[in-house]
């Protein structure tokens, strides 16, 4: 099959049935992805879905990229970004440049295009197109108890080292009591916190109350534990969950906190780690790109690994390209990678 006579277009509501049919045929793990599709594409507060770039040949879908717009903040500016997800090309057309055309089309009309959790083929394709790696885009881990050498081989040796490091590191002294409590919804003060964080020279998702409630309390089939720091006004929050694949593994999914509020960050991390340990968790994973946040995590015994979700970006905003090296504040819950861990 040739890639000639293929047209690219943005999806319309009338395309939903054909999009789902195309995914069902071409996605190996469609049953897992299907659980979250409507929530991401039709209930997302950032846009009215569906948002896809479609490649059609004689009105039949032969390629597709899902687009999830998201608002970022940087120095009081709103940055219109878009996650590129679920990139697929019909097998007979692979290797003919169609994937590259889809990436180009999907990157239009936004200040920055984002991709995280992509496979090796799409990661390589985006890199060849000019996408850049986000710095510090590797996972960190905290290990209480390493798995047996018999079951994990040389990886168990690494886990022994990580476990010893965790036990040797002196924990931060929490000398300023901060109220930390579990919540079942994000309150209005998180809008104020989002505005405060948006003034910083840090690129991050603008996490207002509406976005946070959609992401962590309206997500289907996922259960998160959320802790809030502060009294009347929120100083921050932390989100955790237990892996559905390994009940001895937990995640720090998100941390919403100013990079100059170390005491708040320490109080939230301490509460999250203690709670996960009480649940029987032996290994805690985290994805955090902000250098300050990674230093906080080191203080609690986390260490970086070689595992990465291949987080890349393509800048198309002149303010950002002229700003010099950017500080990125992204977590595991940003994008859709976390949904499947």
- Let me know if residue 332 belongs to a domain: no
For residue 283 the two structure tokens come to: 């290994």
pLDDT band at 49; cut points 50, 70, 90: low
Distance between CA atoms of residues 51 and 86, nearest Å: 12
Cα–Cα distances (Å) from 338 to 108, 178, 243, 327, in that order, read: 26, 29, 10, 22
Domain count, the chain: 2
pLDDT in tens, 20-43: 999 999 888 888 888 898 898 888
> Is there a single domain that holds both residue 167 and residue 129?
no
pTM: 0.92
For residue 190 the two structure tokens come to: 């998180």
For residue 179 the two structure tokens come to: 């109220």
Closest CA to 212 of 196, 226, 229, 202: 226
> Is there a single domain that holds both residue 125 and residue 156?
no
> Is there a single domain that holds both residue 41 and residue 155?
no
pLDDT in tens, 279-291: 999 999 999 999 9
Distance of CA 30 to the CA centre of its chain: 20
- Let me know if residue 313 belongs to a domain: no
Task: Indicate the residue among 92, 107, 133 that finishes a domain.
Answer: 133
pLDDT in tens, 114-124: 999 988 888 99
Residue 223: CA count within 13 A, CB half-sphere: 3
Distance between CA atoms of residues 271 and 267, nearest Å: 6
Domain that holds residue 266: 139-307
pLDDT in tens, 131-178: 999 999 999 999 988 776 555 555 667 788 788 878 888 888 887 789
- Residue 116 sits in a domain whose CATH number is 3.40.630.30
User: Is the model more confident about 244 or about 190?
Assistant: 190
pLDDT in tens, 175-196: 778 999 999 999 999 999 999 9
Q: For the residues 239-266, what does the mean pLDDT come to?
A: 93
Angle formed at CA 89 by CA 88 and CA 90, multiple of 5 degrees: 125
Question: In degrees rounded to 5, what are phi and psi of residue 301?
Answer: 95, 10
What is the reported pLDDT for 112? 95
Q: Please tell me what DSSP assigns to residue 92.
A: G
């Amino acid at each position: 099959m040739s890639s000639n006579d293929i047209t690219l277009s943005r999806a319309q509501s009338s395309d939903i049935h054909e999009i789902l049919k195309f995914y069902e045929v071409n996605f190996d793990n469609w049953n897992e992805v299907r659980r979250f599709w409507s929530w991401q594409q039709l209930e997302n507060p950032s846009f009215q879905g569906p948002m896809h770039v479609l490649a059609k040949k004689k009105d039949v879908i032969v390629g597709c990229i899902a687009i999830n717009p998201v608002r970022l903040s940087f120095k009081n500016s709103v940055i219109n970004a878009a996650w590129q997800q679920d990139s697929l090309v019909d097998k007979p057309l692979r290797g003919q440049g169609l994937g590259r055309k889809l990436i180009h089309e999907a990157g239009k009309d936004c200040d920055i295009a984002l991709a995280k959790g992509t496979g090796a083929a799409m990661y390589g394709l985006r890199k060849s197109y000019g996408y850049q790696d986000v710095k510090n885009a590797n996972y960190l881990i905290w290990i209480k108890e390493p798995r047996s050498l018999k079951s994990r081989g040389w990886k168990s040796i690494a886990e022994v080292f990580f476990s010893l490091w965790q036990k040797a590191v002196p924990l931060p002294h929490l000398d300023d009591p901060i109220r930390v409590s579990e919540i079942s919804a994000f309150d209005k003060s998180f809008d104020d916190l989002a505005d405060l964080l948006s003034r910083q020279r840090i690129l991050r998702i603008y996490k207002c109350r509406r976005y946070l409630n959609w992401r962590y309390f309206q997500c289907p089939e996922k259960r998160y534990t959320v802790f809030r720091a502060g009294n009347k006004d929120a100083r921050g929050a932390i989100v955790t969950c237990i892996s559905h694949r390994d009940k001895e593994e937990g995640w720090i999914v998100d941390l919403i906190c100013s990079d100059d509020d170390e005491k708040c960050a320490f109080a939230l991390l301490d509460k999250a780690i203690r709670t996960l340990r009480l649940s029987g968790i032996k290994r805690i994973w985290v994805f955090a790109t902000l250098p300050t946040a990674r230093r906080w995590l080191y203080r609690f015994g986390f260490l970086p690994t070689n595992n990465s979700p291949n987080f890349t970006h393509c800048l198309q905003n002149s303010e950002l390209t002229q700003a010099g090296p950017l500080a990125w504040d992204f977590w595991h819950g940003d994008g859709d990678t976390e949904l499947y861990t």
